[in-house]
Amino acid sequence: MGENNKNEEFIEDPRYKQCNKEALIGIGLGILNLIWWFGWGYGLGTKNTDEYTYVMGLPMWFFMSCIVGAILFSALAILMVSKFFKDMPLGKIDLEDDNNI
Amino acid sequence: MTNTNWNVLMPLIFYFIGVFVIGFYSMKFVSKASIHEGEENGFLSEYLAGGRDLGGFVLAMTLVTTYLSAGSFIGGPGAAYTFGMAWVFLAMTQMPTGYFTLAVLGKKFAIVARKINAVTITDFIRARYKNDALVILCSISIVAFFIAAMGAQWIGAARLIEGSVGIPYKIALVFFAITVLMYTTIGGFRAVALTDTLQGVIMTMGTIALFVATIHAGGGISNIIQKMHAINPGLITPYSIKEGFATKAWVTSFWILVGFSVVGLPSVGMRAMSYKDSKSLKNGIIYGTVVSMVLILGMHMIGAFGIVVVPGIGSGDLVVPTIATKLFPPWVAGIILAGPLAAVMSTVDSQLLIVVGAIVNDLYANYINPRIKNNAKGMAKVSFVSAIIVGILVFMTAFNPPTIMVWLNLYANAGLISTFIWPIILGLYWKRANTPGAFASIITGVGSYILFSKMWPRPLGMHTIGLPLILSFIVFFIVSLSTEKPSKEIIKTFWGV
């Protein structure tokens, strides 16, 4: 076994490429969620309370940041798994069989 | 016991019976697994990981309820009562709970767990870093931190029963302890996951009912918000009622503490290796996200609106029980109060099982009596006995909390997160991550957390956990790169086919 060419010693599990992609999408969604929450919450919430506007009785900052945020990011999470997450076997796989990936 | 409130107690008793039934049902799977001799880890795979058989809905419920504890149902709404909408805003940093862990650890964690036959988080650490001292350090920190954390949760549960049913604290504690110990010991992970599901459903229904009733009693959302504004304008801003408390940096840093770094909690990470297939993961993310949003948003808004509906209660912690008993007939209140109790139970049962896993699987079978691995019956016996011993220890802690426990509980979540987060994530995604790096990151993380919490509680304006996590990440990175690569064998096991 050559010490230097570590890449040729084994074949990397072909499922990992998709796994890594899914993990990155998850992180991306988390960061977007943070930005949405922060932007609306502090963007509108920093005003003087006399200048607040209200939606369904709730202050606009809270409504957008938390209520719309909760609904929107639940919807985006559903979109994420149904559009970008692929079904694959989790147990041992056979490299010959291309359907596995 | 003259002032026992039977109307509230009855639904709770039914609920406890339901939990027992699930325990006995799961016991069948456990005893089946313990008859199969020879198959390595057959018993432990069932007992600690439910035979990796979780479907999407059960996965979601057990993940969300394990994570949401007494804090989300008693302490959280209590703080929202005092600090207003700012605390609801802060609690919403938990929005990613339902999708983040499952997406980030993802299928890769489940695939790796199957490759190395891991049934605990420490199994993963052991296979990835191959270092006994690291395994022992991880196992001990699980045992110590979780016993302390459980003690605190049990106290909360017993107080809740005491407060709502009117039976003395110590009797409530016994009542609670026996129930949790019984079903967890006999049924293992499957019982825990299934009772978590039952508990999650109860929590969700209770939250929705209480939410609607609270708004109705307060005369509509608009009216409640205007009254909150009149009490103190700070109650409806994201900055809360006093200057310099809910600052931008501090509140935002909760995204790190309760949003993202939950990935590092062994009780949560455990779930990411025990689901059945990739479809379960998908459904788990969908159900988990929706349910956690409903629970977190609902419970904390109830707490914040409580200031208008039940003004002037002594301690904010009582807001949920007070609203429930005020707005509903007693037997309905009993059902609703089963919610917070369920939240506690579903957290401690998982913690109990994690501790048993650490003792039996990670310490006993690895270092004390390795031959037992092929002896399913022996394994079963050791597991039951250690579950009972741990239970008794926790019970004693809750009965009369020793100082060291109080101290450990203070550091429990942060300590566990700083121990496990980078060894898990970097070990999973970075080939170069090695043992010295893992050690250095754990020591830096836990050490700087304890140091900062004493001397610099809000480093850079953030919650104490923020900076230690960043530091331990950097240290892991630097130390790994400046020491030897992990062996080819490890890389092959983890990344090869």
Q: What is the pLDDT of residues B135-187, one digit of tens each?
A: 999 999 999 889 888 888 888 888 778 877 878 888 888 888 888 898 898 89
Q: What is the pLDDT of residues A50-92, one digit of tens each?
A: 999 999 999 999 999 999 999 999 999 999 999 999 999 998 8
A21-48: burial string, b at 16+ Cβ within 10 Å, e else: ebbebbeebbeebbebbbebbbebbeee
Cβ of A70 under 8 Å from any chain B Cβ? yes
Q: What is the pLDDT of residues B45-70, one digit of tens each?
A: 888 888 888 999 999 999 998 888 76
Segment among B89-93, B465-469, B476-480 with least mean pLDDT: B465-469
B221 and A69 within 8 Å at the Cβ level: the answer is no
The fourth-level CATH superfamily of domain B6-410 is: Sodium/glucose cotransporter (1.20.1730.10)
Indicate whether this complex's ipTM tops 0.85: yes
The residue type of A65 is S
For residue B120, give the DSSP letter: S
Q: Chain B: residue nearest A88 by CA?
A: B278
B46-B51-B54 Cα angle (round to 5):
125
A90 and B114 within 8 Å at the Cβ level: the answer is yes
A90 and B85 within 8 Å at the Cβ level: the answer is no
Binned at pLDDT 50, 70 and 90, residue B307 comes out as very high
CA-CA distance, B264 to B233, in Å (whole number)?
Answer: 38
Cβ of A66 under 8 Å from any chain B Cβ? yes
Domain ranges within chain A, ordered by starting residue: 29-55+73-84
Cβ-Cβ contacts under 8 Å, B290 against chain A? 74
B435: enclosing H helix or E strand: helix B435-455
Q: Give A78 to chain B, closest Cα distance, Å.
A: 6
Domain ranges within chain B, ordered by starting residue: 6-410
Rounded to two decimals, what is the model's pTM? 0.90
A46-A44-A75 Cα angle (round to 5):
135
Beta strands at A54-55 and A58-59: parallel, antiparallel or unpaired: antiparallel
The residue type of B172 is A
Q: What is the pLDDT of residues B359-382, one digit of tens each?
A: 998 999 889 988 887 788 888 899
Q: Give A50 to chain B, closest Cα distance, Å.
A: 9
Q: Give me the residues of B, 78-107, that contact A with CB < 8 A.
A: 85, 88-89, 92-93, 95-96, 98-100, 102-107
Q: Could you tell me which of B467, B455, B459, B419 has the C-alpha nearest to residue B440?
A: B419
Q: What is the pLDDT of residues B167-178, one digit of tens each?
A: 888 888 888 888
Residue B170 — left, alpha, or beta (φ > 0 → left; ψ -120 to 50 → alpha)?
Answer: alpha
Contact status, residue B350 vs residue B196, Cβ threshold 8 Å: yes
Rounded mean pLDDT, A12-33: 95
Segment among A21-35, B332-346, B440-454 with least mean pLDDT: B332-346
B467-B90-B210 Cα angle (round to 5):
145
Rounded mean pLDDT, A2-15: 66
CA-CA distance, B468 to B489, in Å (whole number)?
Answer: 32
Binned at pLDDT 50, 70 and 90, residue B33 comes out as confident
The 3-class SS string of B176-231 reads HHHHHHHHHHHHHHHHHHHHHHHHHHHHHHHHHHHHHHHHHHCCCHHHHHHHHHHH
What pLDDT is stored for residue A3 in this prediction?
A: 43
Cβ-Cβ contacts under 8 Å, B278 against chain A? 85-90
B378-416: burial string, b at 16+ Cβ within 10 Å, e else: bbbebbbebbeebbebbbebbbebeeebeebbebbbbbb
